[in-house]
A and B are shown apart, each in its own frame.
Chain A
Amino acid sequence: MAITSLPSADGQELNIFIEGRFDFGAHQEFRNAYERINFTPKRYVIDLQGTTYIDSSALGMLLLLRDHAGGEHAQIRLIHCNPDVRKILSISNFEQLFHIT
């Protein structure tokens, strides 16, 4: 599991890439990815292309990010979900909180 984050060229977005298993083990690293940056992104993009597995603690972490990014007003997209990951997200009806593609 490896998490990297990258600001977009215009500095408006933060891209977070998650490789491998996205579970409780990723807790600190995921937080660091959006807390230890020196700008305030308007939008967040979580790229799950390399994510093989996601569990309910990861869903909790996404909620923490949402809270950090302004709660109701947070703009967070989850992109490149594979079918398994997608299924977990939709069982929990996270489409209601995140923009998922």
Chain B
Amino acid sequence: MQDTLSILIAEDSTADRLLLATIIRRQGYRVVTAGNGQEAVRLFEQERPQLVLMDALMPVMDGFEAARQIKQMAGEELVPIIFLTSLSESEAMVKCLDAGGDDFLAKPYNQPILQAKIKAMDRLRRLQATVLEQRDLIARHNEHLLTEQRVAKAVFDKVAHSGCLNNAPNIRYLQSPYALFNGDLMLAAFKPSGGLHVLLGDFTGHGLSAAIGAMPLSEVFYGMTAKGYSLAEILREMNAKLKHTLPVGVFCCAVMLNLSFQRRVIEVWNGGLPDGYLYRPASGERVPLRSRHLPLGIVDPNCFDDRYEIYPMETGDRVFLLTDGVLEVCNQSGEWFGEQRLLDVFDSNRQPERLFEEIQEALVAFRGEKQDDASLIEVTLTKDGTRAPPPLIFSDSGQSCPMDCSVSFEFRAETLKRFNPLPYLLQLLLEVQELRAQGGMLYTVLAELYSNALDHGVMGLDSSLKRDALGFAEYYRERRRRLAALCDGYVRFHLDLRPQAQGGRLSIRVEDSGPGFDVQRMLALEESVDRYSGRGLKLIRQLADSCTWTDDGRSVCVEFSWSAQA
């Protein structure tokens, strides 16, 4: 690039041409000469000189036309053209510039000025070359970036909007079609017990960092949900994974829900997202679901706070979760939609099943043509919301299963305080191939048996407390208190698996250290429909082949039999 600048001189007067060529050669440039415009154009095409000195008036083709053609051939590259002219009227000078000339030089030539102009034009030429080079570089980088973003988006979309989001009839969601890649994440999965886990997350930083974070997050969410882990355990694991994986400063604001259709309760943990709402259409009550925690991925695992809130739900009650994109939807004059407008939509709602549309309509009406990146999700407690989760996928053939064995566990106070044995028990039972299809049912039974033994047996909590919303809250407060204070007691599981002719039999016996209870009275009580209370005894009896209590209710045994499938 640093080699000699080559200059084309187009001048019809031979004397002038020779003179000029000599001057310029002496200044150290390479020279090509032409006697008229046409020759100049031809030489330009052949030699590609970098700068042109052009006489305005020439035979065959004048300088103006030649300049136009040369500029066209040069394209984006700047080939400065300096007109040589004895014309002095301003009209002629304008004509030089209109034809694409960059400067002019009056005849007769003044050598220092000529040299200065050539140098100035050369600087411009180099500048333009640099700009073009950088522009192309940026374009290439941008192309590269866009490709990576597309890949990241594809990965993100696969993991961020998967699960049962689209086939759970009680979930509706809105994800702005404009947000190419806004880092918002929606996950939903049925639990083995038929309940539902839902997560709405919002990563800081869009693009790649969100995609990177979304992968471990969704893996933990789906994997642990399928295995029967609890909300708190899943949150802990997600926080630990993100803290470990993501750089400082990248985190995920999130709300996670655990909806139980059977127990008709919802557990909520909110770390960093705006208030969600539990809306009870029957009473018009609206319970804000506040952010009480740091977002996921910020604190060390040992400082993570997994405390969540529990609310009773009636059929038809709805939970709304949103990211700040909803509140920050902007109108033409730059105002935000904001919390108040959202609450106004709630207040003016008359048909609860229309509320989700009404919020969407309000957002659209407010923002007009503008774009947004809002995510909104509605989860309703429906009567028949329970769905069997898709069966777990096992990598083994199930040939080597622990048929014909019995195992016993005793979980004592310190363990009961902080350990959830259900996923382990379930995993063990699912080693038996014939039981795999029954995973959800087994989990439900195990979970009911365990919570009866722990809550009512070991801790002596009275389920009739849960008869109304107030008592309900009181029940869970008391449960937390007693669990923290627990220093003795046990829950025992005895699992017995036996092969039978064409099948097998599983019996689960659960014993607890509590005072026992009046089984007959409790069974009679549960027959009369009772709001939040009850021990799920009816459910257990429905699911199991047999269910018997002994030892004044301190010991319960349920049995399942199956015949081998052909």
Contact = CB atoms under 8 A, between A and B. Distances in A.
B293 interface: yes
Contacts of B271: 92-93
A92 B253 contact: yes
Contacts of B298: 63, 97
B534 to A, nearest CB: 36
Interface string A58-75: 011101100100000000
Contacts of A63: 248-249, 251, 298
A9 interface: no
Interface string A82-100: 0000000001111011000
Contact of B294 (A57, A67, A94): A94
A97 B204 contact: no
A64 B291 contact: no
Interface secondary structure of A, over-half rule: helix
A32 interface: no
A63 B300 CA distance: 13
Nearest to A27: B249
A101 interface: no
B202 interface: yes
Interface string B298-339: 110000000000000000000000001000000000000000
| A24, A93, A97 — most chain B CB neighbours (10 Å) | A93
A24 B324 CA distance: 16
Interface string B240-261: 0000000011110100000000
Contacts, number: 47
B471 interface: no
Contacts of B253: 56, 91-92
Contacts of A93: 271-272, 291-294
Nearest to B249: A60
Contact of B251 (A24, A60, A91, A96): A60
* Interface size class of chain B, counting residues whose CB lies under 8 Å from the partner chain: 20 to 34
Interface in B263-307: 271-274, 291-295, 298-299
B391 interface: no
B205 A57 contact: yes
Contacts of A59: 204, 251
Contact of A91 (B205, B249, B250, B274): B274
Contacts of B251: 59-60, 63
B272 A92 contact: yes
B505 to A, nearest CB: 51
B249 A61 contact: yes
Nearest to B183: A56
A93 to B, nearest CB: 5
Contacts of A57: 204-205
Contacts of B204: 56-57, 59-60
Contacts of B295: 92
Contacts of A94: 294
A96 B294 contact: yes
Contacts of A97: 294, 298
A93 B296 CA distance: 11
A1 B295 CA distance: 26
Nearest to A58: B204
A64 B248 contact: yes
Nearest to B270: A91
Contacts of A61: 249
Nearest to A95: B294
Nearest to A66: B248
25 contacts: A56-B202, A57-B204, A59-B251, A60-B249, A60-B250, A60-B251, A63-B251, A64-B248, A64-B249, A67-B249, A91-B253, A91-B272, A91-B274, A91-B291, A91-B324, A92-B253, A92-B271, A92-B272, A93-B272, A93-B291, A93-B293, A96-B294, A96-B299, A97-B294, A97-B298
Interface of A: 24, 56-57, 59-61, 63-64, 67, 91-94, 96-97
Given A91-B272, A92-B272, 16 more contacts: A24-B205, A57-B204, A59-B204, A60-B248, A60-B251, A61-B249, A63-B248, A63-B251, A64-B248, A64-B249, A67-B248, A67-B249, A92-B294, A93-B294, A94-B294, A97-B298
Listed from nearest, the 5 A-B pairs whose CB atoms lie closest are A60-B249, A56-B204, A92-B272, A64-B249, A67-B248
